[in-house]
Each structure stands twice: as structure tokens, then as C-alpha cells.
Structure 1
Amino acid sequence: MNATNDQSDILLQLDDVHTHIGAYHILHGVDLAIPRGQLTMLLGRNGAGKTTTLRTIMGLWQASQGRISFDGQPITALATPDIARCGIAYVPENMGIFGDLSVRDNMLLAARNAPNADAIDGKRLAWIFGLFPALEKFWLHPAGKLSGGQKQMLAVARAIVEPRRLILIDEPSKGLAPAMIANMISAFRELKQTDTTILLVEQNFNFAKQLGDSVAVMDNGRIVHRGAMAELAEDAGMQARLLGLSL
């Protein structure tokens, strides 16, 4: 069930991570290794602990036990801004964009090394516009006026406006029309070619199987399966057992 990775190939590692939110014990000893340069899907039923895992990695919720390491260095006790400075970006399920600000100003806020919009790396911006043409079209428009799919594009674009070593993304296809999901799949395929490591939470199994290199499945706050995404995609019985899917 578990693939063995050389430790040097692991960018992010969670060892026996527990998270409490108030009186609730959400993560019950999560063990998870994210291979460098791969897109890892984190799957599971609603309430399994997937979003809590991402938020704990980012320090938005503090692990109450266990260790989180990024490129071999402990980050468990770091504050969220310090974790971000390590080269980790987070795209939350609610997208986290600023609706009153323009698309340009949303991008500028994410481009920490650019004092103004003209200082954003032009070559990288052109690449992002190639992925998400609507962002160039609505560059000066308030982000709150974008469609749901365009807001999701902006949320992902903010995460990649500067090179990141790891991107955590929570349900990017949620609520999107099929054409917008196809666009998002194409964008992630191109992003994978840049050797960016991605940990992606998703409920849409068709989306997941088209993009994932490796997969981890959560249930009741624990990782219950690890392996190749292709293996899970080909095994309907395993899907039904782990995810309750009948495809």
C-alpha cells in the first residue's frame, strides 16, 4: 500500500500530527510524505480532516502533537508568515481574494518582492496570463466582479505570481462549470512542468485522477492509504472502499 520514498525526495513530511480545534480532536496522528516535484492528491470524504491538514501545515491551526518538516527543517511551531517565507503558498477553499481590490492589486499583494505592479516579473506574468487569459482581460476590474471560476483562477495565480517551492490548494474545482474545470486542469498540467510541488485537496475524483502523481486518502483524521494515483484510478473496488465512490 505504501510506496517507499528516499528521504531526500521528500519535501514536506508530517509525523504523528494531531490537531485540536477547541474541544474537538480533528487530526489523529497524520503521517504524510509529499514527494518533491510531484502533484499529490489528498482525498477523502467530507469531514475527514483534509482542510484541517492544510491549515495545520500553514500554521493557521497549531498542531497539538507531532512534527511537520519542510525540506528537512521543522516548521511545526512557526507562525504562518514565516511558513510562507519558506516558499509555501496556500489557496484556501474560500479563495482568499480581496473583492474590493482590482485583479492587479490582488496580484501585487501576493508578489511580496514587487513594490508596485510594474515591478512584477513580466515574463512570469505573461506565463500566468497564458494560463488564465481572463485575468489579463479584467486586470483593472474589481476582483469581486469576477465569476466564480475567474476568482478561482485569480486565487491560484496569486499563489504562483512568485516561484513557490510548495503550493497547498483546497478544492480548486468546487462549484466550477465543466469548461472552467477543463481550463483549470490544463493550467495545473502546465504548472506541474515547472517542478513545483503541489498538495491538492479535491472532491472531484475525475479531476484528481487526471492530475495526481501520488495520492493519500484520509478518513477520520488519519491517512488510511498512500500510493500512486494511477493505481487508485484503475481500481473501482478500492475507490468504493476508501471514498465511497461508485463510478
Structure 2
Amino acid sequence: MTATSLLSLESVHTHIGAYHILHGVNLEVRRGEVTMLLGRNGAGKTTTLRTIMGLWHASYGRIVFDGQVLSAPGKALSTPEIAQRGIAYVPESMGIFSDLTVKENLVLAARSARTEDDFDSRRLAWIFELFPALRKFWLYPAGKLSGGQKQMLAVARAIIEPRKLLLIDEPSKGLAPAIIHNLIAALRELKRSETTILLVEQNFAMAQALGDRVAVMDDGQVVHTGPMAELAEDEGLQQRLLGLSLASHQ
């Protein structure tokens, strides 16, 4: 783990039942950057995020976060313990509670808040600046929000308290282009707040707009790492690693 690393995975293997999904993943996420995790469907991207978060346990290898071992042979922190160290996870399913209001979803996500009055008022105001719709629909059941508004709520839940690292799985899936543009702007603002992000994304325009570095997965391994700009400029590399051209997916 280098001095600039916030998170590193070292030869991480993950089994789910009889299936061997991750085959020795080596990955570095640098502090203060957005790292894109790309790859074909089934490459192991979601499994990597879930393994970092402790939802699935690594069967071999080490995961180190901010100088602390999260997972190693004979040691595996629980998901709540990992969250307490400053990591939040936004799954592809978003994980919001549809029958609860926007406010109630955020109260549940804030460990230090039992009611709305317990929120850090400056942080809540900042979240409303990022996602104005959440203020408008503050007392609406979350299940009645649009897809884009639900994604905003999912991210807001993850950041209602300061986090060192956000793990986000396909946030743009199914969203209209205008909503994706707003989401990109919000994630850029998060990055400016010194939040490190590891982002799985199939929308390559979004990946190019946000990514500082990229890791490409194939068959349960990281097969390429480097600057996102370098991958975005090299169509031959895109075809070899992803089987497509980013230019065709703008």
C-alpha cells in the first residue's frame, strides 16, 4: 500500500457458495480521487464492492483501508465495523426504504441522529445544494420518487455523515441524460470535499467525465490500471479491454 493509497486489495479471492468469483484482485484506490471500476457484465465488479464492504467475505488475500486491515486470513471485520471506519456503499438496487419518507431515510442513515433536529444543519444544507429535489420532497414517501430522485436519495444516505470512501454501483443505470448530468455535477462536488470514490459504471461518458484513474476487470481479475484519460484516448485499448469503443457510447 503506497502513501497515496486509501484502499488496497491484495490478491483478493472471493467464493460465493461453490462459485469462485474473484481470482486474486489487486486494486489501489488513491486518496481524494475517483477510481472507475469498469468491465464486461459478470467480470466481478459488484462482487469486488461487496467484498470490500464485508457483505461477502474474501476467502484469501488482504484488504487494507487507511492503514487498517479490514480483511486478511483469519480476520474479517463485519459490515457495521467497516462502515464505522468511514466507508459507505450505494448498491445498484439503491437500498432505500420505499415506505419511509425522504427525511426518515436520512435519519436512519445518520448514526448520530434520532430525529431531524439532530442533523448537522450545515451538512444537510450542503446535501440540499447537491440534490435540491430532496428538500422539495422531504416528507414524500421515497417509493414515490422518480428513478433519478431515488438515486439522489441513495447517495445522500451514504453521505449524510462524513465518509472517507464511497463505493457506488452503477448510479446512472436507467436514468435520463439530464439526470445523469446532475449526478455527475454532484459527484464532482463530493470529490472537491475530499471524499474518495470507487465507482462502477457502464456509462462511459460518465466514466470519462468523473474518473481520475481506471481499473478494468475481466474474469474476476483486474487486467488493467491507469489514468482514465489514457483509456479514453486509446480506442485500441478500449476494444482490447472492453470489446467496444467509448466513442460509440457517448
TM-score, scaled to structure 2: 0.95
**1:13 maps to which residue?**
8
* Farther off after superposition, 140-149 or 236-245: 236-245
31, 49, 55: which is aligned to 1:60?
55
Note the C-alpha offset of 1:8.
1.5
SS of corresponding position for 2:114: coil
Please tell me whether residue 25 in structure 1 is matched to residue 20 in structure 2.
yes
Please tell me whether residue 135 in structure 1 is matched to residue 142 in structure 2.
no
Alpha-carbon distance between aligned partners in 2 of 1:40 and 1:28, rounded to the nearest angstrom: 20
SS of corresponding position for 1:7: coil
Alpha-carbon distance between aligned partners in 1 of 2:186 and 2:157, rounded to the nearest angstrom: 14
Alpha-carbon distance between aligned partners in 2 of 1:184 and 1:71, rounded to the nearest angstrom: 27
Note the C-alpha offset of 1:115.
2.1
Post-superposition CA distance 1:106-134 (Å, at most 9, x none): 00111111121111111111111111111
Alpha-carbon distance between aligned partners in 2 of 1:217 and 1:126, rounded to the nearest angstrom: 36
- Superposed counterparts of 1:40-189, under 5 Å: 40-76=35-71, 77-189=76-188
SS of corresponding position for 2:3: helix
Note the C-alpha offset of 1:73.
1.1
Post-superposition CA distance 1:178-232 (Å, at most 9, x none): 0000000110111110111100000111110000001100000000000001111
24, 35, 38: which is aligned to 2:30?
35
**1:234 maps to which residue?**
233
Alpha-carbon distance between aligned partners in 1 of 2:21 and 2:65, rounded to the nearest angstrom: 22
Alpha-carbon distance between aligned partners in 1 of 2:110 and 2:179, rounded to the nearest angstrom: 25
Post-superposition CA distance 1:20-54 (Å, at most 9, x none): 00111000000001101111000000000000000
Post-superposition CA distance 1:43-99 (Å, at most 9, x none): 000000000000000000000000101112110100000000000000000000000
Alpha-carbon distance between aligned partners in 2 of 1:194 and 1:115, rounded to the nearest angstrom: 25
* Letter of the 2:45 counterpart: K
Alignment length (residue pairs): 242
TM-score, scaled to structure 1: 0.97
Alpha-carbon distance between aligned partners in 1 of 2:170 and 2:161, rounded to the nearest angstrom: 21
Percent identity over paired residues: 72
**2:189 maps to which residue?**
190
Alpha-carbon distance between aligned partners in 2 of 1:106 and 1:237, rounded to the nearest angstrom: 45
* Farther off after superposition, 120-129 or 94-103: 120-129
* Letter of the 2:58 counterpart: A
Query: Once superposed, which parts of structure 1, at least 4 consecutive aligned residues long, lie more than 6 Å away?
Result: none
Alpha-carbon distance between aligned partners in 2 of 1:178 and 1:73, rounded to the nearest angstrom: 39
* Letter of the 2:175 counterpart: L
Structure 2 gaps, min length 5: none
| CA RMSD in angstroms, aligned pairs only | 0.8
* Letter of the 1:112 counterpart: R
